[in-house]
């Protein structure tokens, strides 16, 4: 049988909420139990969809990097963005996906700074802001 950890975490959260929280005996204990339940549910969601959300970010950053390279952002950024654009995570383990996501996000910060300062890159700047909005929406906690 293949373990389904996100389901197991959801069941654990339900058990904490249904069985342990009512027995807490104090407002603090009830509040603490409810917060623990929410954190467990958030972990379940992250376990289920976290890699997918990060890979969606990576795909969008790749597209932004391609646009930037075509727009001529400067040799210093070309040297950074060009290899990153085609890089894949070492595996689909969360830590490997996070490592690539972080590296690309750091490069995006440098690119965004350049795009905000150069009038010729105004459309790229808008595209980066759109990505940031979409990424924040994608990663919003469902509480």
pLDDT tens string 35-47:
888 888 888 888 8
User: If pLDDT is split at 50, 70 and 90, which confidence band does 141 have?
Assistant: confident
Distance CA 118, CA 124 (A): 10
pLDDT tens track for 72-107: 999 999 999 999 999 999 999 999 999 999 999 999
pTM: 0.83
Locate the domains of the chain by residue range: 5-138
């Amino acid at each position: 049988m293949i373990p389904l950890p996100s389901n197991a975490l959801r069941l654990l959260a339900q058990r904490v909420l249904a069985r342990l929280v009512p027995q807490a005996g104090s407002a603090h204990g009830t509040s603490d139990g409810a917060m623990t339940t929410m954190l467990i549910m958030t972990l379940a969601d992250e376990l289920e969809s976290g890699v997918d959300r990060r890979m969606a970010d990576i795909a969008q950053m790749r597209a932004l990097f391609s646009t930037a390279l075509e727009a001529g952002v400067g040799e210093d950024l070309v040297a950074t963005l060009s290899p990153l654009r085609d890089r894949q995570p070492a595996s689909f383990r969360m830590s490997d996906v996070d490592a690539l996501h972080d590296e690309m996000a750091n490069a995006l910060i440098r690119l965004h700074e350049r795009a905000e300062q150069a009038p010729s890159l105004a459309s790229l700047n808008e595209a980066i802001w759109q990505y940031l909005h979409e990424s924040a929406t994608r990663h919003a906690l469902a509480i």
